[in-house]
Amino acid sequence: MQDKIKEFMENHKVLNLGYMHRGFPNSCALWFANDSDLNLYYLSAPSTQHGTLHRGAPVSFTINRDDQNWKEIRGIQGRGLVFPADSEQGWEAYRKKFPFIQDDSSEIQEVIGEMQLWQVKPNWLRLIDNTVSFGYKEEMKL
């Protein structure tokens, strides 16, 4: 199952992140990358709500395509904890998936310089695949 989830993550770009901010539920869509341990990485400006989460904050997330009919729904649901990413592993995964962030233009480097890389460490994942059968699910705890 881990290989199926990793492959799905590598073939999709948008992470829908759910979190609490000042006592209210919030969500946002972010570009993400993943590593071989299924950790997710996203960039965020410190001025955003999802850029001010505290270390170890619980989050939920989904990864899916937008243009699916009900017979072909495939996606991932998950829960985990979020941390500021402090390892080169996260940057390496993000640069591999989105190589344009290495562009030498001052515009992109200025924007990237203002961002914080965050890591979501999943502790529960569910793979949904209606192409197998309607309502098909596989779950794993990490």
Domains of the chain in sequence order: 2-141 (2.30.110.10)
Tens-place pLDDT, residues 61-76: 999 987 888 888 899 9
* Confidence bin at 100 (pLDDT 50/70/90): confident
The average confidence (pLDDT) of the chain is 92
Q: Is the pLDDT of residue 106 over 80?
A: no
Q: What's the pLDDT at 115?
A: 87
> What pLDDT, on the 0 to 100 scale, is given for residue 103?
77
The two structure tokens encoding residue 106: 């001052």
Label residue 44 by pLDDT band (50, 70, 90).
very high
- Tokens 């992140």 belong to which residue? 17
pLDDT for 59 beyond 80: yes
Q: What is the pLDDT at residue 102?
A: 82
Cβ distance 43 to 118 under 8 Å? yes
Cβ atoms of 119 and 91 within 8 Å: the answer is no
Which value, to the nearest 10 degrees, does the dihedral of the CA atoms of residues 107, 18, 137, 129 take? Answer: -40
Instruction: Tell me what pLDDT residue 96 has.
Output: 94
Calculate what percentage of the chain has a pLDDT beyond 70: 99
**Please, which pLDDT band fits residue 105 given cuts at 50, 70 and 90?**
confident
- Rounded to 10 degrees, the C-alpha dihedral 23/27/32/37 comes to 60
| Residue 38 phi, psi (nearest 5) | 70, 15
- The model's pTM is 0.90
pLDDT at 61: 98
Tokens representing 125 are: 């994942």
